[in-house]
Amino acid sequence: MSVNESTAPVMPRSRVIGAYLEEARSECLRYMRAPGFMLPIMLFPAMFYLLFGVLMAKSNGADAARYLLASYGVFGVMSPGLFGFGVSLALERDGGLLTFKRALPMPPGAYLLGKMLMAMVAAGVVILLLLTMAVTLGHVALSPLQAGALLLTGMLGVLPFCALGMFVGTLIKGQGAPGMLQLIYLPMSFMSGLWFPLPMLPKFLQQIAPIWPSYHLDMVAMAAVGLNKEAILTHVLVLLAFAIGFLLLAARRLRRNG
């Protein structure tokens, strides 16, 4: 005797919400307890900012210090999105963990939401670390509103890179994911003007900079610290389009190939 779908048991809403929260908590704990993941994410942008944003920018004025805080903040938040999603997804696909999670009685979006929240928390930690260094070591003058805006920019701005990392993670095997993502992460950072101001780069790199999501996030971050007076709506919409586009591509790959 078949069971009518309308009479099939439905998980209560409280349990659905609990499943989302528990998956998010476990993902955050798993990565926070993994020093091989968290330390490079925090220390790599911090070392860059200490060298170029604190030690070398002192003679270039307050605007240079704020400029480098914003650009290295963007450089820092790209990493948890790309590597937290891309490498872990590729490894979990190879190890069968993703297939196992699909068989569990959990909401299908809990896995992705957990990883997104993990990346947002990691991005927030990176921005807070750079803000602390900027205020204490670089003597950068920021209002509480500007500091809060930069923190919010970093935590939300990681999402397009989560989608990009997720898409890359569906394309390649786990062992090849770190190298492939480095080939995306470092050139994109350089060509977006995160390491050096765009006017210092060759003309053709300046012209193609708007094709990278990191360029648009950098423009939003500059506005957060008071250095970009132009409207940022276009940059926000471009970042949203990047996030949705790569998320849809990744979801299609996962449906077809697992």
Interval 157-184: pLDDT, tens:
999 999 999 899 888 887 788 888 889 9
Give the per-residue pLDDT at 200: 87
pLDDT, mean of residues 5-22: 64
- Any residues with CB less than 8 A from the CB of 55 and at least 6 apart, and which? none
DSSP H or E segment with residue 165 = helix 159-171
Q: CB under 8 Å to 106, separation ≥6 — which residues?
A: 19, 23
pLDDT greater than 60 at residue 82? yes
Of the two residues 91 and 244, the one the predictor is more confident about is: 244
Question: Considering the entire predicted model, what is its pTM?
Answer: 0.85
For the cut 90, the answer to whether the pLDDT of residue 140 exceeds it is no
Return d(Cα 106, Cα 114) in angstroms, integer.
12
Q: What is the mean pLDDT of the chain?
A: 83
Cβ-contact 217, 236 below 8 angstroms: no
- Which percentage of the chain shows pLDDT scores above 90? 35
Percent of the chain whose predicted confidence (pLDDT) is above 70: 80
Banded model confidence at residue 90, pLDDT cuts 50, 70, 90: confident
Checking if the pLDDT of 187 tops 80, the result is yes
Mean pLDDT is lowest, of 142-151, 164-173, 186-195, 211-220, for: 164-173
What is the Cα 110 distance to its own chain's centre? 18
CB-based contact 217:153 (threshold 8 Å): yes
The pLDDT of residue 108 is 62
* CB 79, CB 164: distance < 8 Å: no
| Cα 187 off chain centre by | 16
Tokens 């929240």 belong to: 117
Residues 6+ apart with CB under 8 A from 140: 62, 65, 66, 69, 134
For position 251, what pLDDT does the model report?
81
pLDDT of residue 59: 60
